[in-house]
A = this chain, B = another copy of it.
Amino acid sequence: MRLSRFFLSTQRQTPKDAETVSHRLCIKSGLLNALSAGIFSYLPLGLMALRKIENIIREYMNMYDGQEVLLPALQPLEIWQKTGRDKVLEEIMFTFKDRRGRDICLGPTHEEVITDLAKKFISSYKQMPVILYQIQTKFRDEIRPKAGLVRSCEFIMKDAYSFDRDQEGLNLSYSKMKEAYQNIFRECGLPAIILGADTGAMGGSESEEFLVKGESGEDKVFFCPNCGRYFKQRGSCPVCAAQLEEINALEIGHIFKLGTKYSQALGAYFLDADGRRKEIIMGCYGIGVSRLIPAVIENNYDQEGIIWPKKIAPFDVEILVLGQAEDLVSYSRELYGKISSLNYDVLLDDRNESVGVKFNDAYLLGMPYLFVLGKGSFSQGKVEIVFRKNKQKILVNKESVLDWARDYLRK
């Protein structure tokens, strides 16, 4: 993509209503635009990061036996009345009547809908285990939306649901999902903390939360600087008795052993090998997909801007052309084409802007590698490569640039 034609506009000013670093950087770097409080549009750059995150999630969900579906946002309130959760979640659900007179809600989660689906499609133990997941837009009527994508009224989640014939099956499905989550968060550059948690509005017997440190975090966790463990409770470390440090943490995933709460309420039964009718044993597994963007930024930034982890950077490489000299410009296009042909996403800053503006924007946008074509080094047959993470610079011969890209870009 040529930056001169890209729908992007970075902001010099710090947005007034953005109270956290990730919210500020999302707006300043042109990832997002606020339509209204808690309601955002993803601009092309933000959508690219979002899609890379979604694809990492898909890759691991499929690897761990998940099958993708897409469930509706509009849901008849009737199925929520069967589980009693119309009351439990009343304060955050958008509800209204449609023109046919039906009571409708916008789904803040999908346990009821998926259980209704399982009821229709699963009748025998032979059809299980099954894990279904979706990456879909959810809605919460937030009275106080905050911190950009951290707490918004419309957001994207990955929600998965497992269906098993017995507790042993559930344990296995649960451990698969836990392993998938560890892989997903690692690939996204997020050092996740896993802690036992309350089951809350979901219900069930057991749950674990995935959290990351972050200014936007609404949870508190407690860290032992001596033994390196994390805890939910304040107090001295139960393992080594050292004093604990309080840390802001942001919930990015949550996995639950639900048991039969939903299958019982909605009548999702199966015939087991022994000929008996039993309730399907369920688990549910959520990732706050859009929330991963602020979570990633809060764990990967510096004074000058975002430092995208390689796997989810909107572009792998940004080429900065410093000046409008003809040979420089023509080489920049050649290099752009060649690196693109290696299946890397490349942004070419071909704008007629000063060196300062180009570097400021490049550091703000935060692509992992900056290929700088400057008059001085170019006349000596060199390209300067800047590593965004530590701003280390190396000079590479023009003839070797493509080999360098091929060998090092994804490492």
A-to-B contact residues, CB < 8 Å: 5-7, 9, 33, 35-37, 39-44, 47, 50, 65, 67-76, 91, 94, 96, 98-100, 102, 104, 106, 113, 116-117, 120-121, 130, 132, 137, 139, 141-143, 153-154
Given known contacts A7-B67, A35-B76, what 11 new A-B pairs fall within 8 Å (CB)?
A: A35-B71, A41-B70, A41-B113, A44-B68, A44-B69, A44-B132, A47-B70, A72-B154, A98-B141, A98-B153, A99-B143
Instruction: Name the CB-closest residue of B to A65.
Output: B5
Q: What are 26 A-B contacts with C-beta separation under 8 Å?
A: A9-B121, A33-B120, A33-B121, A35-B72, A35-B75, A35-B76, A35-B113, A35-B117, A36-B75, A36-B102, A39-B72, A41-B69, A41-B70, A42-B70, A44-B68, A44-B132, A47-B68, A47-B69, A50-B70, A72-B154, A74-B139, A74-B153, A98-B141, A98-B153, A99-B143, A106-B106
Number of copies of this chain in the oligomer? 2
Residues of B contacting A35 in the complex (Cβ-Cβ under 8 angstroms): 71-72, 75-76, 113, 116-117
Q: How far is the CB of A79 from chain B (nearest CB, A)?
A: 8
* Bound-complex Cα distance A40 to B47 (A): 26
Residues of B contacting A74 in the complex (Cβ-Cβ under 8 angstroms): 36, 39, 139, 153-154
* Bound-complex Cα distance A65 to B2 (A): 11
Q: How far is the CB of A3 from chain B (nearest CB, A)?
A: 12
Residues of B contacting A99 in the complex (Cβ-Cβ under 8 angstroms): 91, 141-143
* Bound-complex Cα distance A100 to B94 (A): 12
- Are B41's CB and A72's CB within 8 A? yes
Instruction: Name the CB-closest residue of B to A106.
Output: B106
Residues of B contacting A37 in the complex (Cβ-Cβ under 8 angstroms): 100
- Give 4 nearest A-B pairs by CB, closest first: A42-B70, A96-B96, A44-B67, A36-B76
Residues of B contacting A68 in the complex (Cβ-Cβ under 8 angstroms): 44, 47
Residue among A37, A41, A120 with most chain B CB within 10 A: A41
- Are A40's CB and B121's CB within 8 A? no
Q: Which of B42, B43, B69 contacts A7 (CB 8 A)?
A: B69
- Are B41's CB and A71's CB within 8 A? yes
Residues of B contacting A141 in the complex (Cβ-Cβ under 8 angstroms): 98-99
Q: How far is the CB of A1 from chain B (nearest CB, A)?
A: 8
* Bound-complex Cα distance A71 to B121 (A): 34
Q: How far is the CB of A292 from chain B (nearest CB, A)?
A: 15
* Bound-complex Cα distance A73 to B106 (A): 11
* Bound-complex Cα distance A120 to B74 (A): 31
* Bound-complex Cα distance A106 to B72 (A): 14
- Are A41's CB and B117's CB within 8 A? yes
* Bound-complex Cα distance A46 to B72 (A): 14
Q: Which of B47, B67, B102 contacts A6 (CB 8 A)?
A: B67
Q: How far is the CB of A119 from chain B (nearest CB, A)?
A: 11
Instruction: Name the CB-closest residue of B to A50.
Output: B70
- Are B75's CB and A137's CB within 8 A? no
Residues of B contacting A130 in the complex (Cβ-Cβ under 8 angstroms): 7
* Bound-complex Cα distance A96 to B98 (A): 10
Residues of B contacting A102 in the complex (Cβ-Cβ under 8 angstroms): 36
* Bound-complex Cα distance A173 to B130 (A): 47
- Are A154's CB and B100's CB within 8 A? no
A73 in contact with B76 given A67-B7, A99-B141 (CB within 8 Å) = no
Residues of B contacting A33 in the complex (Cβ-Cβ under 8 angstroms): 117, 120-121
- Are B120's CB and A40's CB within 8 A? no
Instruction: Name the CB-closest residue of B to A121.
Output: B9
Residues of B contacting A40 in the complex (Cβ-Cβ under 8 angstroms): 72
* Bound-complex Cα distance A42 to B96 (A): 24
